[in-house]
Chains A and B, each alone.
Chain A
Amino acid sequence: MKFLAARRRSPLVASALLIGALAVVGGGYAALASVQPAEATMAVGTETQVEKGKQLYLEGCSSCHGLEAQGTKVGPTLIGVGAAGVHFQVSTGRMPLAAPGAQAPSKENIYSEDDIAAMSAYVASLAPGPAIPSAQQLDYADADVAFGGQLFRINCAQCHQAAGQGGALTQGKYAPNLMESTPEVIYEAMLTGPQNMPVFSDSQLPEGDKQAIIAYIRDLQEASSPGGLNLGRFGPVTEGVFLVVGVFAALIAAAVWIGIKSR
């Protein structure tokens, strides 16, 4: 402390404070922005696929979802969730669950595309359910981004935030950030309503609407930030924190420099 007290009037203090503040803000921002994408494509389930899927299911899933996928106290039934549900949960690493909690977090996917296809085929063979969307269903090239934006704001933005950044729900649950989500995963999430997300079936949001929403999310994902740091696109909250922590610190550093007596 004595060292600090003796040096606090040094001309370097201002620059040190400024650099420190920038490091805190920049480092904090970098620490918050971590990512992990996942993608897979899907073929129709064959006999052998179903057999293989059953094996994988028994090894990886049955402890919670039951030997017959009928559900247990700790896991819901998978009968009727369809191939889309399985593909969404497994390809994003949400399943298998590492530990019970408020919500299954997205993490590194441990299965190969073939494995996921096999498990999807097995669960789809138990009962009819939403299928994995085809390449044609996922083709959003002709979709209207602006219309997708309107649909997104009416149906999705309440939880995922207007720029798709996600947000908090009750008791530790949250709506995930969509910035790394593939069209396939977005489509499947709408079809199946994973975890606490409501279902948006084709009768609520027809294929064309879903494509428009996907086009909007892709547009958000590709959008640059002409003004520089977007600070997570959360708007006034993160911008306010940046102002208070970073800019105020810089202003204080400037005031300290002005106040230091010249030698």
Chain B
Amino acid sequence: MTDISPHQDTPSQGGAPHGSNGHGNAPARLGYSPVADIPHKPRATDTDPKAARRAERQVATMFLLSMLFVVLFVVAYIAIDPTAVVYIPVLGAVGASNVALGFTMGMAILLVGTGAIQWAKKLMPDVEVVQDRHDMSSPKRASAEAEANYERGKEESGFARFRLIRRTLIGALVLFPIPLVVMLRDLWTPDEFTKGKSPADLLSTTLWAQGTRIISDGTYQGSHGGEDSGGEVAGEVEASEDSVAFRPIRPEDLPVGGLIAAIPADLPEVEELEGNFNARGKAAIILVRMEPDEIRSQQGEGWDYQGILAYSKICTHVGCPIALYEQRTHHLLCPCHQSTFDLADSGNVVFGPAARRMPQLPIGVDEEGFLVAMSDFQEPIGPSFWERG
């Protein structure tokens, strides 16, 4: 591949690029480094035929071993039970098949590589060579031709002469991107849940409303039964019989120091209709309880219920769900960027990059004694967005 003859296709660039000793475009003299003017030191394999044969054998052995590992791979694939577990020091208890297949395949390709390198290092010529870079610019003739083509095209099309055509063409090209911009409106799909609401409206409101019951967030999906729960559905799990999953919460269910991840009672239904987690992403809350005299401030008068506070679960920095609640310090820590909110003090930010406090949900109890929301959040939950300023 490397060409050690002078480059006939490029004319001499005037002045030898490699100094004054004149081997710029000359063939490298064998046995002599053309780069550093030092004698080339031959390898053992260059001078000693025995060493050369030894190197040959080494390379061939690596290629042979590679073949052997391919055979072993096939054998391991057939012979080893994919579920078998084997103990290997350092690695621990691992799948025997995984390890055997990975090792044999890895060794097969590695030995081809090392064999090739060994071949190149020991047996292929190791003479230093100089290869000049060709001229970077196009030949004069080619650029002159391109220029002439351009001028002729300008002349023949009459682009300069037909002023009306020129201006209407520019107008057409300027208007063309408008449909692309208009289509951005589709980013909010007018389905029955979002009809008539701008993206800013959607970001500012959640499922919570006055009287919405707060239920414990027991599962992601499926465990709340339903008409189709008769058949065996893969991946669905059954809640234990006394589980509080999707059950409304009474104040006495939550002891001081306790934490409940909760959602609005209508979320499971809405989630099923919408077929996505958008509503959950906004409505998820945590309920915590502290002694009423531990609450230093809240976002609204009497928004707690006997020391039970409801805060959004969505970090106001970039929207990670948070429930790392420290019951002694009342700090809520976001694991993504360490924003820390003090739930005993209006959910204010005490540390980290979050710029807004954690929105609080005003809560109370309904006539049956279950915890309910008193309204939607009074400020948008989650990270800031343009319209919010």
Q: Is the CB of A204 within 8 A of B244?
A: yes
Against B, the Cβ 8 Å flags (1 = close, 0 = not) of A133-175 are 0000000000110110011001100110000000101100101
CB contacts under 8 Å to B, within A175-216, are 175, 193, 195-201, 203-209, 211-212
User: How distant is the Cα of A187 from the Cα of B240 in the complex, in angstroms?
Assistant: 17
Other-chain residue from B90, B99, B240, B261 in contact with A143 (beta carbon distance below 8 A): B240
**Option from A154, A159, A226 in Cβ contact (under 8 Å) with B261:** A154
- Contacting residues of chain B (282-297) with chain A, CB-CB under 8 angstroms: 288
Residues of A contacting B255 in the complex (Cβ-Cβ under 8 angstroms): 199, 201, 203-204
Docked CA distance A198–B254 (Å): 11
Specify which chain B residues have a CB less than 8 angstroms from the CB of A226 in the assembled complex. Answer: 85, 94-95, 98
Residue B351 lies at the interface, judged by CB distance under 8 Å to chain A:
yes
> Which residues of B have CB within 8 Å of A159?
324
Q: Which of A26, A195, A227 contacts B95 (CB 8 A)?
A: A227
Is B356 on the interface with A (CB-CB < 8 A)? Answer: no
Report chain B residues within 8 Å CB of A258. Answer: 117, 121
Encode contact with B along A226-248: 1 for CB under 8 Å, 0 otherwise: 11111000000000000000000
> For window 254-306 of chain B, which residues contact chain A by CB distance below 8 Å?
254-261, 288
Q: CB-CB contacts of B147-185 with A at 8 A, as 1s and 0s? A: 000000000000000000000000000000000000000
Write the nearest CB–CB distance from B315 to chain A, whole angstroms: 12
Contacts of A230 in B (CB 8 A): 92
Residue of A nearest to B88 (CB): A228
Q: Is A262 an interface residue (CB 8 A)?
A: yes
Residue of chain B at shortest CB distance from A208: B240
Which residue on A lies nearest to B322, using beta carbons? A158
> Distance (Å) between the CB of A179 and the closest chain B CB?
13
With both beta carbons as reference points, the residue of chain A lying nearest to B330 in the complex is identified as: A196
Could you say which residues of chain B place their CB within 8 Å of the CB of A34? none
> What is the chain B residue whose CB lies nearest that of A160?
B324
Question: Using a Cβ cutoff of 8 Å, how many contacts connect chains A and B?
Answer: 142
CB <8 Å contact, A204 and B240: no
Given A227-B98, A262-B121, residue A205 in contact with residue B244 (CB < 8 A):
yes
In this assembly, does A73 line the interface, its C-beta being within 8 Å of a C-beta of chain B? no
CB distance B121 to A144 under 8 Å? no
Of the candidates B254, B322, B331, the one whose C-beta lies within 8 Å of that of A203 is: B254
A209 to B217, CA, bound (A): 13
**Of B121, B223, B259, which is within 8 A of A200 by CB?**
B259
1/0 contact string of B198-232 vs chain A (CB within 8 Å): 00000000000000000011111001000000000
Q: Is B329 in contact with A263, judged by CB distance below 8 angstroms?
A: no
Are B326's CB and A263's CB within 8 A?
A: no
Cα distance A200–B288 when bound, in Å? Answer: 11
- A93–B324 CA distance with the chains assembled, in angstroms: 24
Determine whether B379 belongs to the interface, using a CB cutoff of 8 Å to chain A. Answer: no
Taking a contact as CB atoms under 8 Å apart, the answer to whether B258 and A199 are in contact is yes
28 A-B Cβ contacts within 8 A?
A26-B90, A143-B240, A144-B240, A151-B245, A155-B259, A158-B324, A173-B326, A193-B258, A196-B328, A198-B288, A198-B325, A198-B327, A199-B255, A200-B258, A200-B259, A203-B255, A204-B216, A204-B244, A204-B254, A208-B243, A209-B242, A209-B243, A224-B94, A225-B92, A226-B94, A229-B91, A229-B92, A230-B92
Further pairs besides A147-B219, A169-B324, A224-B85: 20, Cβ < 8 Å: A144-B237, A144-B238, A151-B218, A158-B324, A169-B326, A170-B326, A170-B333, A173-B326, A193-B258, A199-B257, A203-B250, A203-B252, A211-B240, A224-B93, A224-B94, A226-B85, A226-B94, A227-B95, A262-B45, A263-B44
